[in-house]
Structure 1
């Protein structure tokens, strides 16, 4: 019986090769897009799930709500916090502290020097809490000895050639000798934290330079806690206000504006966009994931709509076939199986072809997203089961309406002619489905246009700082003599315009801390700290609008320069001469304001410009910003870059050379937006392709059904243009209706997306007109040839069989 269904269904599909090809093409593309999106979504939601205890591990987050600063969530916490939490809450079974080892950057092994990022001080409990797998070393002891370090597998191979060759070997960090106590397996890429080297936290505790970490005002490390039960998190959250009263207030700190809560580890990757100062290498966006999931289902739904629509249109031509089958004794159940079989065959072929499309597209997708997906990812047990269920659902959805609709016809109605009401219902359903398809397509076009304009706005907005033709080179700290020697060598090249010393190319170090007004014990603002020399502001085209720049003739500590945002936060109309009191590590400094610079965007346009404070302290300067003439050609730039690299190596031979282009730094913050933009282009293109494919198919079928009407109209004198206008009018009206539905949807989605930017475009009529016009043009282009051909039909050919 099943073989008969298969044979009959196959013959039926082959008789209508053109429409079968349209259905297979649409479903193949729809399946491929759906599977690719869900490969990405599955990766995004799987972060930290490889950790056995992930449901019981939480990160402590502070809410700071200082007057004049506003509420901000921060992931850095106080030094004594972990031990106090462990003592006060029996629900906490383990604590873990992590702190970026910012004071180490170079790793020396014999005569070789490596620059290594992602080094952390960590408690021994990290091994068990974070699920670290050791390839060598004792889990109980690898982070006990303050003179030991734990290396990742890739770093061990880089330093020593192999994992086995690393164990027990020595290396130098900041002039101190450490022994490699173990090697850990590289963390999966689905980890929100990523570290190459772990240093025992006891190194910090025994170092007098870190004495300040013992106070409750030292927000510098990340604290994780492991609970006996995930439900205990709410109990602890309810008691954290009392906890802060007992400890922070008792320590003499007036942090009455401080709150805390526990953030589940499962939420850190996707739900931390509002949290500042996170030492995370990976972060995602939950809103984008939701949009991608919706788009995946909508694209697949559009492909199914094509199938259903064409099946409905074809059903009119199969009335007599159904009537004859019923006369010959076919029951309704057998007819339903027949049509579902046709749907299943088309769906199965589409799934197979989609796997081939995925194999073709995966390299491009991996390049775009920075992933390493392979086709075998589709064939995991869970994903294969999901794909099988999806195959059954699509087969049923795509074949259900035609199956139940046609099988319900009575032979007497078929041979007498289908009642007009049924024809009308079929036509109305087809129009609704076409409208749905173009609604989604136009909404996606709207999103593409808005994202592209926002990215264009970002690229061309005046940031208040000139990153063009600028290069930042990281150097050793606290080496003023070498720094001046390097400046002299670099400036001997006429292509180099200026060399400024700074902590970073944007002039700020990245850390934020409180700065008190000197004549008040309580008036303070949180500022971004930066260390620059007198050349920096001029080199980067940042104007000093009040007071003076640092005086190059005075090498001692002179005072500070602030930005307009800092002056506004304190309500200072005349800030020059005002005095700040602030703490840099363990040193309290009191300094007058000697100048004010115009506000500039030192970070992403997602955030408003925050108060900033700059000092000229030569021993804190850890790099140079080199401004050069715009090269006439790539070869000239390459030669200049080689000169800079050779010059740096000649003065700092033990420092690995690392550099950052100014424009690269400026655009790095928007890489995720560029990826989102490209993905939306692909989504819109796929959606439009599927919509137009379906529109072409249904137009072809409806023209076949109207052959008699077309012939009569031509006999009655209708011109080719009149016929074309009559045939195309309904479809263009449907696209206009789709536009009216799509634009509010697109506006809502993009308004939410743009809220993440403090500086963003304003919507104009252009954003609403262009998507609808694009939809009309593409829809018209997809069917105009078929309609023109139908409008020019010879009336004799159209009516000779009537």
Structure 2
């Protein structure tokens, strides 16, 4: 019986090639997108799932409020680890992690062939509890004692092999940045960035850096120092927030305008919560769900084509069904026959989609900077996914047509009384076309909004110049090397100006502390961001001085520049009144005058509002050099500057970025989402147009005699063309009325993530309608024109 079903299915598909090609093409594209979406979601949701105790692991995070400003920070003060033991006896283990970032690792040797490796990241300091909370396989060393002593460290296997080829790394000595001599006391397995936020290759002991920390430094907060806790089994954390508040009340010395809160962030939330950064690029759960839903919609859209064309074919196949029933065929047999055809089309589509998915992955991996691949031999869950996908598409596509076609009565069929209008399919097909174009138009409007917002953030004035400004990150804060490099750079004819600073005007690194500003009525206290800069910073980056003068040349603080937000907050409606006021910032107990007020500039992305900002000198903190270039051949100048850099820092990599690149990194997730949406929109439109073309072809064939009669009675080409086109245009208009509020609500919510964003413009919706109408007319145009110019004699000659 199954063999007969398959043979009959093949015969029917060979007779209806257009029907088969349209369905297979649509399903193949939809399924390939679903496969890629599965791989992406599997990657996004697969971080750090190997830790056995993950359900009991939490990270302690900090929420700081100062006046109207609120800051979320994944870091905690150094002494918090000890205080937690007092307030939380249900914490089985408490551990800290100090992220060191990157550095130069050397193997001390007498000879000239010294081995040195520069790590861009993956270096940190931990206590012995860290890998009793998280899991990592130890290859050599004692996990309980390896990190007890100062100047001890554990190392990843691959790094150990690079530093000590053909040797055992255990008990060897390495040097980090000419600052720490570390004895290797453990070797651990390598981890992959593809599945963890904690891929550290070199981890020194906390005891090594303990002397650098102040034991009572409750006012110092850095995102690089984080705290992790392991909660005892069955322990209750219901009153944890109240106890955290008591801890803050006891240990912190807060001003009236300040408040601090510590929260326990579940370990599973670390990779997805964008309020608190992780050591890997985080991903929004909203983006994961959006990707899954869009992939599902594409599958459903492809299935809609199948249903649409199958019901449209009902009249054509009605005689076949009538004869089958007269010869004794049961409804169940006919249903299985049509389901067999559907399952065969779905199976062929899945086979083709695997090849399409491999091609899609080449682009996806390039644009999204991923390394996704299909593991055919080891990923059993992938094959289960394909099986479920095959059954889902087969049932969704085939059940309704099978029940409709198997329900025909033989007597009605053989009397030719079965028509498109009485099988109950017209409204269904119209509804399915509307559904397809709702999805297409929502995706199209969303893509245009994201593109417009991305254009806005790239080209909107940020309050400083960013064109042709090269930023060189210095490997360490040796000021003699920096000054010598700066002097050499000034000799280059293409260098217009040059500045030294702790960081660029806009960056992901924010250093904040409290300030006191003396006014006529007393003192103003609040938090502000500080930027350590030299006197060339303002002209190099093109900051606008609104009042007063620029900083003067100095190695240490001799005055402050403030932004206009800080001046307005302090109550100076006239900015000139702020100049000369005495100002004290953070750790410095001395007051210095405000020498000038600069125009507000964005120090982070457009997602955040401009906050009070202070600029002052502090040579010991300068870690970067900004160079304004005038040459049109920037590539050549970058290479020349690189040679100079290597002459002063021969052991280090030449690490540079242009300001435009730094700003673009703020929106890397949005850029990736935009690229995905563009591709999915084009695919959704293509699948929708496939179905529209198939339906137009069927309607043209069904109405060929009607067209002949109309032309004999005097209907013009325009009348016939309008007869077909208007029917589809009405459906697209209905789809637009539904898609408009859906896209508006979704994109409005997305734009709320930005403090500075575009407004919804009327042209976005007009452009969507025009694009959809144009595509629809082009899709149905060929069949419509052909039907309109057909000779009426050819239409009626069989009568």
In the alignment, is the contact (CA less than 8 A) between 2:76 and 2:227 conserved in 1?
A: yes
What's the TM-score once normalised by structure 1's chain length? Answer: 0.93
1:139 aligns with 2:136: no
Q: CA deviation at 1:514?
A: 2.5
Q: Aligned equivalents of 2:757 and 2:367: distance in 1?
A: 25
In the alignment, is the contact (CA less than 8 A) between 2:501 and 2:624 conserved in 1?
A: yes
- Secondary structure in 2 matching 1:232: coil
In the alignment, is the contact (CA less than 8 A) between 1:501 and 1:532 conserved in 2?
A: yes
| Equivalent residue number for residue 645 of structure 2 | 648
Q: Which deviates more, 76-85 or 163-172?
A: 163-172
Q: 1:168-567 alignment to 2 at 5 Å?
A: 168-188=172-192, 189-205=194-210, 207=211, 209-211=212-214, 213-220=215-222, 221-229=225-233, 232-245=236-249, 247-248=250-251, 257-270=259-272, 272-275=273-276, 278=277, 280-376=279-375, 380-418=379-417, 423=422, 425-475=424-474, 478-506=477-505, 510-517=509-516, 523-552=524-553, 554-567=554-567
Q: CA deviation at 1:444?
A: 0.8
Runs (4+) off by over 6 Å: 251-256
Q: Which deviates more, 498-507 or 594-603?
A: 498-507
What's the TM-score once normalised by structure 2's chain length? Answer: 0.93
- Secondary structure in 2 matching 1:181: strand
Give the alignment partner of residue 695 of structure 1, picking from 692, 695, 698.
692
In the alignment, is the contact (CA less than 8 A) between 1:477 and 1:620 conserved in 2?
A: no
| Equivalent residue number for residue 68 of structure 1 | 68
In the alignment, is the contact (CA less than 8 A) between 1:136 and 1:167 conserved in 2?
A: no
- Secondary structure in 2 matching 1:101: strand
Q: Aligned equivalents of 1:387 and 1:699: distance in 2?
A: 32
Q: What CA deviation, in whole Å up to 9, does each residue of 1:353-399 have, x standing for no partner?
A: 10111122212111122221222269622232122122112211211
Q: What CA deviation, in whole Å up to 9, does each residue of 1:638-695 have, x standing for no partner?
A: 3322321222233344554322222211211122222111111101100000000001
Q: Aligned equivalents of 1:469 and 1:538: distance in 2?
A: 14
In the alignment, is the contact (CA less than 8 A) between 2:420 and 2:426 conserved in 1?
A: no
Q: Aligned equivalents of 1:161 and 1:572: distance in 2?
A: 65
Distance 1:684 1:592, change over 3 A: same
Q: Which deviates more, 565-574 or 697-706?
A: 565-574
Q: CA deviation at 1:427?
A: 0.8
Q: CA deviation at 1:762?
A: 1.1
- Secondary structure in 2 matching 1:675: helix
| Equivalent residue number for residue 29 of structure 1 | 29
Distance 1:797 1:476, change over 3 A: closer
1:125 aligns with 2:129: yes
- Secondary structure in 1 matching 2:124: strand
Q: 1:708-719 alignment to 2 at 5 Å?
A: 708-719=705-716
Q: Aligned equivalents of 1:375 and 1:679: distance in 2?
A: 19
| Equivalent residue number for residue 581 of structure 2 | 578
In the alignment, is the contact (CA less than 8 A) between 1:561 and 1:615 conserved in 2?
A: yes
- Secondary structure in 1 matching 2:430: helix
- Secondary structure in 2 matching 1:142: coil
Q: Aligned equivalents of 2:474 and 2:707: distance in 1?
A: 80
Distance 1:599 1:160, change over 3 A: farther
- Secondary structure in 2 matching 1:685: helix
Q: Which deviates more, 295-304 or 503-512?
A: 503-512
Q: Aligned equivalents of 1:564 and 1:657: distance in 2?
A: 36
In the alignment, is the contact (CA less than 8 A) between 1:44 and 1:284 conserved in 2?
A: yes
In the alignment, is the contact (CA less than 8 A) between 1:606 and 1:757 conserved in 2?
A: yes
Q: Which deviates more, 514-523 or 598-607?
A: 514-523
Distance 1:550 1:507, change over 3 A: farther
| Equivalent residue number for residue 704 of structure 2 | 707
In the alignment, is the contact (CA less than 8 A) between 1:565 and 1:599 conserved in 2?
A: yes
Q: CA deviation at 1:442?
A: 1.1
Q: Which deviates more, 150-159 or 388-397?
A: 150-159
Q: What CA deviation, in whole Å up to 9, does each residue of 1:708-766 have, x standing for no partner?
A: 21222122222223212112210111111111111211111111111111111111110
In the alignment, is the contact (CA less than 8 A) between 2:257 and 2:526 conserved in 1?
A: no
In the alignment, is the contact (CA less than 8 A) between 2:90 and 2:235 conserved in 1?
A: no
1:626 aligns with 2:630: no
In the alignment, is the contact (CA less than 8 A) between 2:312 and 2:420 conserved in 1?
A: no
Q: Which deviates more, 519-528 or 693-702?
A: 519-528
In the alignment, is the contact (CA less than 8 A) between 1:436 and 1:738 conserved in 2?
A: yes
Q: What CA deviation, in whole Å up to 9, does each residue of 1:560-618 have, x standing for no partner?
A: 2221222223333432233333334xx64543322221111222111111222122122
Question: Structure 2 stretches of 5 or more lacking a match?
Answer: 109-113
In the alignment, is the contact (CA less than 8 A) between 1:509 and 1:528 conserved in 2?
A: no
- Secondary structure in 1 matching 2:52: coil
Distance 1:379 1:115, change over 3 A: closer
Q: Aligned equivalents of 1:233 and 1:50: distance in 2?
A: 24
- Secondary structure in 1 matching 2:213: helix
Q: Aligned equivalents of 2:581 and 2:234: distance in 1?
A: 50
Between Structure 1 and Structure 2, how many residues are aligned? Answer: 785
Q: Aligned equivalents of 2:417 and 2:71: distance in 1?
A: 68
Q: Aligned equivalents of 1:777 and 1:508: distance in 2?
A: 43
Q: Aligned equivalents of 2:615 and 2:187: distance in 1?
A: 41
Question: Structure 1 stretches of 5 or more lacking a match?
Answer: none
Q: Aligned equivalents of 1:296 and 1:372: distance in 2?
A: 20
In the alignment, is the contact (CA less than 8 A) between 1:273 and 1:285 conserved in 2?
A: yes
| Equivalent residue number for residue 160 of structure 2 | 156
| Equivalent residue number for residue 591 of structure 1 | 592
In the alignment, is the contact (CA less than 8 A) between 2:506 and 2:663 conserved in 1?
A: no
Q: CA deviation at 1:167?
A: 5.6
Q: Aligned equivalents of 2:478 and 2:339: distance in 1?
A: 78
Distance 1:164 1:745, change over 3 A: farther
Q: CA deviation at 1:487?
A: 2.2
Q: Which deviates more, 516-525 or 183-192?
A: 516-525
What CA RMSD, in Å, does the superposition of the two structures yield over aligned residues? 2.4
| Equivalent residue number for residue 111 of structure 2 | none
Q: Aligned equivalents of 2:187 and 2:490: distance in 1?
A: 45
